[in-house]
Amino acid sequence: MMQKKLVAWMLVMLSSLQSSVLGQDMKILFSTNGYVKELDLDTGNVTILANVSGYVYSMAYDYTHRFLFLPRYHLGDILRLHYSLEQSMETIVPSVSNPADVAIDSLYEHLYWTERIHGGGIGRCNYDGSNITVIIKEDYIWSVTLDLENSWIYYNRIGIGIKRASLNGSDREIIQLKKHQIVAVTFDSDEQGHRLYYMNFDTGEIMSSATDSSNVTIITRAGSQAYDIEINGDDIYCTADFRIIRLQKHPGTKSQTIHTETTQITSLFVCLGNGK
């Protein structure tokens, strides 16, 4: 059973990678002013997917089931949007304090989230909201990302820095001391090896490092009010105030504004291939 799940997960990842390389039907899902929208990069068309009536600072998407997970920070719950031709939305975690970030383990169909409060931490449940478990109990955690290959959770505790733990919450350690407000951390693996990418909310400074905190690189400054960051191949996509920005992962590269809204953009997800 384990082998079958692993093969299925690898096929999904391979399909996504092929779509990225071929440039087929890439879309950006993003949230702004209580709405979740879809930007078609081929046509430039923007479509409203859902009215979520609250701020969403992160998204996570499962390609197998076509679920888009949306934490509503101020309303204190997590929604699951079925991103398909017949869209439906439901609340799967009805009561959670200040859910800021979400990440998924598609192999075991687990959803992880952070709670940015005193006495908060990182929780986990199944895709349908069942079997809710507290993985980590720490104050003021904002962002979370998963390294499933090595079974690590990377997360940022505001005012402390970037930390990591095993998927069950044990073996916690500080990776980098960062006193600034890091609001987005993501993990990527390429020819440079395993690397973390993270972004400063106040300055929009985007940095990367090896997972052991060595080889720190400043890539660029995207601008203030930066909330979310995504990696797609050699490209970085991020939010900066009213804009969605694209740039390459190499230091010193120029950024390109690919979309602008009239209200602040608070989260995004790069959807490869035909997500529907």
Answer left, alpha or beta for residue 193, where phi above 0 means left and psi between -120 and 50 means alpha: left
What does the pLDDT read at residue 24?
54
Amino acid at the residue 137:
K
Q: How many CA atoms are closer than 13 Å to the CA of 12, on its beta-carbon side?
A: 17
What does the pLDDT read at residue 161?
86
What does the pLDDT read at residue 146?
94
Helix locations, the chain, DSSP H:
2-22
Contact 154, 145 (CB under 8 A): yes
What does the pLDDT read at residue 160?
85
What does the pLDDT read at residue 3?
45
Structure tokens at 159: 């005012």
Answer left, alpha or beta for residue 137, where phi above 0 means left and psi between -120 and 50 means alpha: beta
Answer left, alpha or beta for residue 213, where phi above 0 means left and psi between -120 and 50 means alpha: left
What does the pLDDT read at residue 180?
63
Domain made up of 2-271: CATH architecture: 6 Propeller (2.120)
Q: Is the pTM of this model over 0.85?
A: yes
pLDDT beneath 70, residues of the chain: 1-24, 178-181, 183, 190-192, 273-276
Counts of helices then strands in the chain (DSSP H, E): 1, 24
**For residue 176, what are the β-bridge partners?**
162
- Residue that is written with structure tokens 């694209």 in the block: 246
Q: Smallest Cα–Cα separation from 58: which of 210, 217, 259, 238?
A: 238
What does the pLDDT read at residue 251?
85
What does the pLDDT read at residue 132?
97
- For residues 221 and 207, what is the distance between their CA atoms, to the nearest angstrom? 9
- For residues 197 and 218, what is the distance between their CA atoms, to the nearest angstrom? 10
